Amino acid sequence: MGHFVFFLGLLTLFLSCDRSTMSVNKTALEIKSSPIIYGNNDILDYHEVRGKRIRQIGRSVAIQIPEDKLEYANGHYTINEDLLEDLNICPEHDAFHEKIAAQPSLGTCSGFLIEKDVLLTASHCVESLSDCEENFWAFDFKSDPQNIAPSNFKESNVHKCVEIIDQNKSLDYAILKLDRPVLGRKPLQMRQRGKILKDSKLVVVGYPQGLPLKFSTNAKIRDNKHEDQFIINSDTFEGNSGSPVVNTKNYLVEGVLVRGGTDFDLNEKSNDQCYTIKRCPEGQCSGEEILRIKSIFEKDL
């Protein structure tokens, strides 16, 4: 984002784009889709989450990382800090902006375990077999209470995608085979029958903007009438594509986040032309689109 000044003239074009049309493999010169906060900011880091079962779910959610951002040596994958992305967040805006401005942006999408060696994500995160093979999937990318993110991963926490088992680009999901079973983490449980209730409370777990693991809590359903998807008001960003949407009553995955709004808020008062997170009053903006789990698996259940 340090080269943003060269792209100011393209801002209007990006504002009109949906997340699903944006390239997944970003370079340091490309502009990311915007984060959106609906009403109050309900985003928590891993260490801020008090519920044990929700934290456990977070352990089964992985971040997609381009292979050139990790370097293997002596049983660890070290993060290539020269390739970390600068999101150009305005740190002086509030405490949340200050926190995430200091965190590294490492990955491009989110995904979660549905079997020991099988991951579910959004289709636009893995357009082809080459996308599958050229990205890592890593677990435990999370910040600590001092807001410090890891500089490396244990070898056991990093996996490669070796096969696209199933994919539907219209519905926007992909089921991926990993190179080996994931140890010490449980596949998430998914709704197998019935339909989510309109008044259900939800949490979205993933890696917004490629930042360390976040939990978008207190999300609610806006529109539940469509067969294949429902709309929620979760505080989620690009990078949350592929995130599980979990019902906090029964801890079942109800769906996969696949699309959302793309508006930017550029802080023109700042000399650095930095970004602040767009805020939408409750009931406004388009909402976040969630693909129902039953639309993926009902034929097999």
Helix or strand or coil: residue 253? strand
Average pLDDT, the chain: 84
Which pLDDT score is estimated for 28?
28
**pLDDT band, very low/low/confident/very high, at 274 (cuts 50, 70, 90):** confident
Q: How far apart are the C-alpha atoms of 147 and 273, rounded to whole Å? A: 24
Helix or strand or coil: residue 63? strand
Would you call 78 exposed, middle or buried from its count of C-beta atoms within 10 A (0-12, 13-18, 19+)?
middle
Q: Amino acid identity, residue 44?
A: L
Which pLDDT score is estimated for 265?
60
Q: How far apart are the C-alpha atoms of 86 and 40, rounded to whole Å? A: 25
One DSSP character per residue, 74-139 reads TTEEEE-GGG-B---B-TTS-HHHHHHHTS-B--SEEEEEEETTEEEE-GGG--SHHHHHTEEEES
Whether residue 6 has pLDDT greater than 80: no
pLDDT in tens, 139-185: 999 999 999 999 999 999 999 999 999 999 999 999 999 999 999 99
Q: How far apart are the C-alpha atoms of 248 and 199, rounded to whole Å? A: 11
pLDDT in tens, 192-239: 888 999 999 999 999 999 999 999 999 999 999 999 999 998 888 888
For the chain, helix, strand, coil in percent to 5 are 20, 35, 45
pLDDT in tens, 88-112: 888 988 899 999 999 999 999 999 9
User: Do 249 and 200 contact (CB within 8 A), yes or no?
Assistant: yes
Q: How far apart are the C-alpha atoms of 188 and 294, rounded to whole Å? A: 14
Which pLDDT score is estimated for 266?
58
pLDDT in tens, 44-69: 999 999 999 999 999 999 999 999 99
Whether residue 20 has pLDDT greater than 50: no
Average pLDDT (20-29) is 34
Q: Which residue has the higher pLDDT, 11 or 57?
A: 57
**pLDDT band, very low/low/confident/very high, at 263 (cuts 50, 70, 90):** very low
Which pLDDT score is estimated for 164?
98
